[in-house]
Structure 1
């Protein structure tokens, strides 16, 4: 794709606030000068907002204050005027009821922070799972020149000579304790080595998956996704991105120029190749909705079905993000896709050129970490989109994290009406369940939880674990952590809380899964299904005020990105009337 830069110099948006000698311009400049900014910073140079999700309650992002300083260096070097702007930061590890409930609130806050303030371009400083999509959604809605800088993954975890993946080993060790294979004291000892440096998850969890999605979309400089948080090259990346955003403003290179259908197809295919998180599905659908690109679950299945998973990282494989970076990172994966005819090579990136120019010379330094296709983890990776009478609008499954022997399965449903029902029953040895059953969890979708929590990878019953069973088919309208694994069917749409078919599954019903055929079927007649749905009534109390009420009223289904309906579409960032 050929990009034609805008003619420069031109009057910038920020000059509506700062340019001139009138009362209003002096008002805006004068207050800014109380921070010690020289007068010539307001002379028409690009004002760059550094939208920073730093927070000590968002541990993945707790080092972004340091990176922000390096971004500022780059902006100053390129002749811009950096201003750091704190924005809503939703931590996956601590926000209740779930960080996902606040992704859309964060995106709305970011959008209005951009629209209502004197910025000509934005650096999106992100890390933890929801901070990446929320800032991208907000920026896409405004369509000012924007570039993403990711905080990077933490260093490898270690415990008694083995690599420990954040999240992935949390689930494994927890199950091992329940199975009697690990003591509680050992679990506590392992905790100390899980998260031993700043940064986000060191597995190919949601944070690293979304960093990879940003790079494959073209919204970050090449190589951004995998550099460890504490590596000096992460700070170099921040500084170079600061330089680059100034030129992007001069060229008027906007998210809508980069976030095309071709770019989203590249991201979907790269997610399959890296064994990326299922959460990327709901986030990319939402980002596409903000920029006005028609992206659907069918696109996920079409683009990802024949992509081999070649990145050997937890939770699908063996290694962690450090090894991925040392092996060459995402540029190597994108080069592989290009050589396989699976990359839209002309897709534009924030560099101003096509993505192929950025990755065509990438070198793979470790073929055990980034494998050749003939040694792929799975030859049909990607995300499998399942449909049938149990999921008329779709459900998803991650083949690279699932068990081969369960990819075609028929089993008896064991139903949990909500997460509290699951917690009350799962540890009871009287629960009528074995490894052939299908665990069904209801009312955990966008409206039902509320917010669609990461509870879909339900832990197995202890009595099954003690028999050496490590996986069962699990179905829900929830999400699961990108660090999780198993034959887990997620995002079932329509969700139970709005009367989707999942709501009327009963104990003892037979469910059939066929991943190859992309089907998920509840074995009852059409007449029985219609009768059950007619009798269904909503359960639970709904919030009467505040953001929870707004969320429940306007959140859409997982199949379209779980965004708020009134936030869809690119509304731009016009300069409003000055009231002073």
Structure 2
């Protein structure tokens, strides 16, 4: 008995010692040990009953061995690949590299498709369907038995829609963007997506270049797979994904066809398995501090105005109290450091070679909320500390910025009681304070029919006003706010005018353009009662936009407004749902019943 007791005692002590060294051994082996809780996927694939049989059997038909379901993390690859979305046309290639990383880290990757929104191809506007994509993603993540997800997106609305849907389920998640296309090259010039479309189009309409020259730039501008190579909406969201901490460094800028993007995708596959092991859902990263970092970075890179509605909508899914004024308040004194089109000279390929987002964050490190965590395992301050700039012409030093202030100006006044925004670094400085008579276009069709009419009464001092282009009225809030100028003014050398609308504009666009006027004209907002000849005053530095018409006259006009016509094709289907439930721009244009989250729990079986 005595010897037996001794042996038992030694065995117990040995077990204790091995247990105490387990974490150290695991760290040496490159693995992080955490207290594991039951996998979400185990509730489906781990069941020892008829339902478990069904779930496992059909998955095994794809060649998965038995041990795929022994408790390994099931990792979803949420893919917006589509040949109708050229920005994302190579995501199936990137998905294979993500899978390598997942397998290597001991997970089981399962790829699935969701809606793909091709910004340059989809009508009437991809923005109409961002919330539909978010619904698609949310229900797929909740309904299928996965433990974590890699969001493969890139084109303007795909990443925001994916993040919104993922936030409402709150699994561990990581963003892998498609990356920017190669720089455009045309007749000895470097040209950028979108920005040079607007420039060349205006030059052709002014008679400065031939129609043949204009159209011959098509193929030269788009030379590879990937998103716009300017700091448009897609590159902006890719950048903000890094600032939010939900993507790895390089996500925004590594060119789409660069081998390093495949390497990053591989590493993302490994990291998502680690996030599952560490039980770090998306909400771990999407905190108030993360959104403030995104706003600061948005200003430093001169990002797209579209980021405002996307961040507001995403914050609503996360329960973060983000307000429209926050974009102005936090970015007011941030300098523009990224010298990129449309606010500068260079393109995303140059930005990457200059150091990309880590270099930008390094330059504004003292402003960032440095302790915010990232999916890569570092704090955002550590990512910023690792950043290094290799070309000061592309990423400017603080003492020689592109502009001394950047960001988003949020306007208020009797013309926009719910707010409006303007991108000052894309505007003509002299026009940021301006007063002039309104030239009103009642719809996009009215605008297209009359803008080049030689008899149109308009001068360079006029204020162009476009109605019925808001979230409900269009429907979908299209990128038409940067209205082309009348041909007769272009031919006279005019290149910018003050323009107002309840629409959006492309992140690749430029000009003194007031956007997102809320409430929109379709709802009877003040924009609806503006008439030709009304004086409008824009005072950007004072953040005001005023219709110089007395209150009594405005009330009289409102009382005389006719009920708005139903937007096109809104009698049924998703568009009907959108028109009846979409919120205004100052709230992010989400559907009112989608704000918040429902989590990942599913209580009923399928058979």
Cα distance in 1 for residues equivalent to 2:206 and 2:160: 37
CA distance in structure 2 between the aligned counterparts of 1:352 and 1:362, rounded to whole angstroms: 16
Residue in structure 2 matched with residue 68 of structure 1 by the alignment:
95
Instruction: Count matched residues.
Output: 574
8 Å contact 1:390–1:520 — kept in the other structure? yes
Q: Answer yes or no: is 1:516 the counterpart of 2:556.
A: no
Counterpart in 1 of 2:340?
313
**CA distance in structure 1 between the aligned counterparts of 2:562 and 2:46, rounded to whole angstroms:** 59
Q: How many Å apart are 1:366 and its aligned residue?
A: 0.4
Work out whether residues 192 and 347 of structure 2, in 8 Å CA contact, stay in contact via their aligned partners in 1.
Answer: yes
- The equivalent position to 1:261 in structure 2, one of 273, 280, 288, is 288
Alignment match of 2:259 (pick from 222, 232, 237) = 232
- 1:432 has 2:457 as partner: yes
1:41 aligns with 2:48: no
Structure 2 counterparts to residues 488-567 of structure 1, below 5 A:
488-542=513-567, 543-567=570-594
State whether structure 2 residue 388 is matched by structure 1 residue 357: no
Give the counterpart of 1:158 among 177, 182, 185: 185
Of 174, 181, 187 in structure 1, the residue corresponding to residue 208 of structure 2 is 181
> Shift of the alpha carbon at 1:25?
0.3
TM-score w.r.t. structure 2 length?
A: 0.94
Q: How far did 1:207 drift?
A: 0.4
SS of residue in 1 equivalent to 2:412 = strand
Question: What is the CA–CA distance in structure 2 between the aligned matches of 1:283 and 1:115, rounded to whole Å?
Answer: 22
Structure 1 segment 414-433 matched on structure 2, within 5 A: 414-433=439-458
Farther off after superposition, 195-204 or 376-385: 376-385
Q: Does 1:14 align with 2:41?
A: yes
Partner-residue secondary structure (3-state), 1:373: coil
Structure 1 position 191, deviation (Å): 1.1
Report the alpha carbon displacement of residue 350 of structure 1 after superposing the two structures with TM: 1.0
Q: Which residue number corresponds to residue 128 of structure 1?
A: 155
Distance 1:315 1:236 in 2: 29
Provide the rounded CA distance (Å) in 1 between the counterparts of 2:439 and 2:245.
Answer: 44
How many angstroms does 1:7 deviate by?
4.0
Which residue in 1 is equivalent to 2:14? none
1:354-393 pair list within 5 angstroms: 354-393=379-418
Superimposed CA distance per residue, residues 136-164 of structure 1 (whole angstroms, 9 cap, x where no aligned partner): 00000000000000110000001111111
- Give 1:6 shift: 9.1
CA contact (8 A) 1:253 1:352 kept: no
Matched with 1:304 is 331
Distance 2:559 2:169 in 1: 43
Distance 2:604 2:564 in 1: 46
SS in 1 for 2:536: strand
Q: Is the 8 A contact 1:289 1:568 kept in 2?
A: yes
Which secondary structure does the structure 1 equivalent of 2:217 belong to?
helix
Q: 1:398: which partner in 2?
A: 423
The question of whether the paired residues in 1 share the 8 Å contact of 2:41 and 2:73 is answered with yes
Inter-partner Cα distance in structure 1 for 2:596 and 2:92: 31
| Alpha-carbon distance in 2 for matches of 1:6, 1:137 | 30
Distance 1:59 1:468 in 2: 35
Q: 1:282 & 1:362 partners in 2: Cα distance?
A: 29
Query: What SS is found at the alignment partner of 1:26?
Result: helix
| 2:330 equivalent to 1:344 | no
* Runs of 4+ in structure 1 over 3 Å off: 5-8
| Residue correspondence of structure 1 range 44-193 to structure 2 within 5 A | 44-193=71-220
Distance 1:379 1:21 in 2: 64
What is the aligned partner in structure 2 of residue 467 from structure 1? 492
Q: Give the Cα–Cα distance (whole angstroms) in 2 for the partners of residues 346 and 469 of structure 1.
A: 48
SS of match in other structure, 1:415: strand
Q: 1:24-65 CA distances to partner (integer Å, 9 max, x unpaired)?
A: 001000001111111100111100000000000000000000
Mapped partners of 1:579, 1:373: distance in 2:
58
The answer on whether the counterparts of 1:310 and 1:373 sit within 8 Å (CA) in structure 2 is yes
Task: Indicate conservation of the 8 Å contact 1:13/1:575, yes or no.
Answer: no
Q: CA deviation at 1:384?
A: 0.5
Once the two structures are TM-superposed, the CA of residue 544 in structure 1 deviates from its matched residue by 1.8
2:421–2:517 contact (8 Å) kept in structure 1: yes
User: Are 2:253 and 1:220 aligned?
Assistant: no
Query: What is the distance in 2 between the residues matched to 1:538 and 1:166?
Result: 40
For 1:537 and 1:297, the matched residues in 2 are separated by: 30
Question: How many Å separate the matches in 2 of 1:393 and 1:464?
Answer: 32
Deviation string 1:310-346 (CA, Å, 9 cap, x unpaired) is: 10000001000000000000111111111xx321111
Residue aligning to 2:24: none
Cα distance, 1:376 vs. partner? 1.4
Is 1:244 aligned to residue 271 of structure 2?
Answer: yes
- Residue 196 (structure 1) aligned to one of 223, 230, 236: 223
Aligned-partner Cα distance in 2 for 1:541–1:168: 33
Task: Tell me, yes or no, if the aligned pair for 1:16 and 1:575 is still in contact at 8 Å.
Answer: no
Any idea what the Cα deviations from partners look like across 1:417-453, whole Å, max 9, x if unmatched?
A: 0100000000101000010000000010100110000
Q: Is the 8 A contact 2:363 2:398 kept in 1?
A: no
Q: Shift in Å at residue 353 of structure 1?
A: 3.1
RMSD: 1.0
- SS of structure 2 residue aligned to 1:322: helix
TM-score of the superposed pair, with normalisation by structure 1: 0.98
Query: Could you say what secondary structure the match of 1:90 adopts?
Result: coil
Check whether the contact 2:184–2:190 (CA below 8 A) recurs between aligned residues.
yes
Specify the alignment match of 2:605 in structure 1: 578
Shift of 1:222: 1.8
| Preserved contact between residue 209 and residue 276 of structure 1 (Cα < 8 Å) | yes
Shift of residue 195 of structure 1? Answer: 0.3
- 1:438-453 correspondence runs (5 A): 438-453=463-478
CA deviation string 1:453-497 (max 9, x = no partner) = 000000000000001111000000000000000000000000001
Indicate the SS of the match to 2:435: strand
Which segments of 5 or more consecutive residues in structure 2 lack a partner in the other structure?
1-31
Deviations 1:485-517 (A, max 9, x none): 000000000000111101110000000001100
